[in-house]
Structure 1
Amino acid sequence: MIAATLPASSGWQWLKDAFLIFRKQPFALLALLFVINMMSQILLQIPVLGAGLFIITMPIASLIVVSACRDIQGKPAGFNQLDPKTWVASLQKPKVISRLAFSGFVYAALILLLSVVLLYPLLDEQTIAQISSVLYGAQGGATTTADALPDGSTLVLLLGWAILLFIVTLMFWHVPQLIGWENQTVGKAIFYSFVASWRNKTAFLMYFLIWFVFFIFLQFVIVPLLIGVGLPALFIAFLMQVILMIMVATIYCGFYSSYAAIFGTQHRALPEE
């Protein structure tokens, strides 16, 4: 199994390919994400066990959506028939569900560790107030004074947390696909995902940067503009929810477009260990 090394511009190509996949079957993908979100909300309402069940089912849901993207991408333009059975076919393989669940647990544990070690010292009322004033002040068009900005040490810790979060994200970016499609163990899937993603780190930086710029533009330019022209707050909130759903669907499609670009769309599954 060979991972390609791609230029930084591939990050933009992944995003374009992801949106093309979404545009083929937008309602099917949005309906699938709606069902998954509804089930996630139900899980979160379960006392004590709800949060844990939500965490371990995230990779399972991710594999289902990415499998749907693969099914959509493999169909010709203008098709109307989808095959939902193929979206869950990988889950019927031995040990796949348990491995996906365990990978979700490992991912959540790493994120929790990073948050406790780096972010917990920052969670005082003054720092939270400073960050909130910057975000909501900019969104409302207010100017930000120097005193309202977090101090240098806080910014360094936030930057360190962001860098480590980027590394952890690369470690798990392809894990559901490698487990479900390639029959890899959790450890091997994390290893292959990290190596392949790190070889293409500039493309991933470009990919995440584009999403970040789009989000900032949406929050601090589009929303204030809509408020400024006098549109009702309820309509703006509804519009933002629709845009957010499209963004989430496109991000899931990006999991597949990046995987297909790095590993290829046709390769033999590795033997199960």
Structure 2
Amino acid sequence: MKLRIVPARAGLEWVKLGTRTFWRQPLALAALFFMTMAAMSIATMVPLVGPALALALLPSATLAMMVAAAEASEGRFPTPALLLVAFRTGKQRLRAMLTLGAIYAVGFLGLVGVSALIDGGTFANVYLGGQRLTPETAAEPAFQYAMWAAMLLYVPLSLLFWHAPGLVHWHGVPPVKSLFFSLVACWRNWRAFLAFGFTWFGVFMAAGIVISVASTLLTLVGLPPMMAGSIMVAAAMMLAAMFLTSVVYTFRDCFEAPYAPGSAGMTDRLDGPDGPVA
């Protein structure tokens, strides 16, 4: 396995390819995303360990969307069976994915714990659903400090896990090594990831404005507010599914291996000025 250095323009290409792939199978990919979110929501209902279990499922859910995007990019239909792709690739990789999930849950609960030291646990309770967010709570300085601390701590956590599920699944990399390689790949290709992040931020902002205006207009012409709200939620979920569809392209271009997700379009990569590096 080799790490590849790609140019900044690759970030824009990832967004374009992810959007194009999503619209090849929009209903299937949106439905798969909805099912992953539903599975995690159901997991939170398990007594005592529900929130931690839901967090542990996130790497597997991310992998399911990556595999589904790879399937769609090759013209194949991503079926709901892909939800279990992380658990059907042999005992060794199953253990590796479970280990990744456990590490992610511990890491996330750890950063939430740090935020609790700042505001006494208010942000943690709100985020985990144990307390309703009110304007008064949101305006408290301690709550805001805790929120920003959690967001800053989440950045390195997300970079550690960005490529890790794909490295475990497609390359057979052990869990801890996959976290290290993921962080290094994101760091070495920071220009491309910065372009990727800013582009998606712009897409989400523009889409949010359009959806908000459209919902307001629909309400003015007689559409019930609840239905308009449902349209906004559905559109937001489709955007989130589209974003996750683009993640597989970031993985594809950052690593070179004897085999990779897909066989035709998925193996066409963007070369940077430095080419592949060990």
The answer to whether residue 175 in structure 2 is matched with residue 183 in structure 1 is no
Please list the CA deviations of residues 107-151 of structure 1 after superposition, one character each: whole Å capped at 9, or x if unmatched.
2222222232246414688xx9xx9759x9xxxxxxxxxxx6x76
Relative to structure 1, the CA distance from residue 248 to residue 47 in structure 2 (aligned partners, 3 Å threshold; closer, same or farther) is: same
The answer to whether residue 101 in structure 2 is matched with residue 101 in structure 1 is no
The answer to whether residue 71 in structure 2 is matched with residue 82 in structure 1 is no
Question: Which residue number corresponds to residue 151 of structure 2?
Answer: 162
Residues 59-68 or 153-162, more deviating: 153-162
The answer to whether residue 210 in structure 2 is matched with residue 210 in structure 1 is no
Question: Which residue number corresponds to residue 115 of structure 1?
Answer: 112
- 3-state DSSP of counterpart to 1:24: coil
Q: What count of residue pairs does the alignment treat as equivalent?
A: 246
Structure 2 contact 170–259 (Cα < 8 Å) conserved: no
Give 2:229's match in structure 1, choosing from 219, 237, 253: 237
**Which AA in structure 1 matches 2:193?**
F
Relative to structure 1, the CA distance from residue 226 to residue 89 in structure 2 (aligned partners, 3 Å threshold; closer, same or farther) is: closer
Question: Which residue number corresponds to residue 144 of structure 1?
Answer: none
Unaligned segments of structure 2, at least 5 residues: 127-132, 261-278
Identity fraction in percent: 25
Cα distance in 2, alignment partners of residues 24 and 256 from structure 1: 15
Structure 1 contact 90–181 (Cα < 8 Å) conserved: no
Structure 2 contact 24–72 (Cα < 8 Å) conserved: yes
Give 1:201's match in structure 2, choosing from 181, 190, 197: 190
Deviation (angstroms), 1:256 = 0.4
Deviation (angstroms), 1:100 = 1.2
Q: What TM-score comes out, normalization by structure 2 length?
A: 0.74
Runs ≥4 residues deviating over 6 A: 153-157
**Which AA in structure 2 matches 1:247?**
L
Cα distance in 1, alignment partners of residues 37 and 86 from structure 2: 21
Relative to structure 1, the CA distance from residue 158 to residue 17 in structure 2 (aligned partners, 3 Å threshold; closer, same or farther) is: same
Cα distance in 2, alignment partners of residues 162 and 209 from structure 1: 17
The answer to whether residue 65 in structure 2 is matched with residue 65 in structure 1 is yes
The answer to whether residue 239 in structure 2 is matched with residue 267 in structure 1 is no
Structure 2 contact 55–101 (Cα < 8 Å) conserved: yes
Cα distance in 2, alignment partners of residues 262 and 33 from structure 1: 24
The answer to whether residue 20 in structure 2 is matched with residue 20 in structure 1 is yes
Structure 1 contact 67–86 (Cα < 8 Å) conserved: no
Unaligned segments of structure 1, at least 5 residues: 76-80, 137-147
- 3-state DSSP of counterpart to 1:95: helix
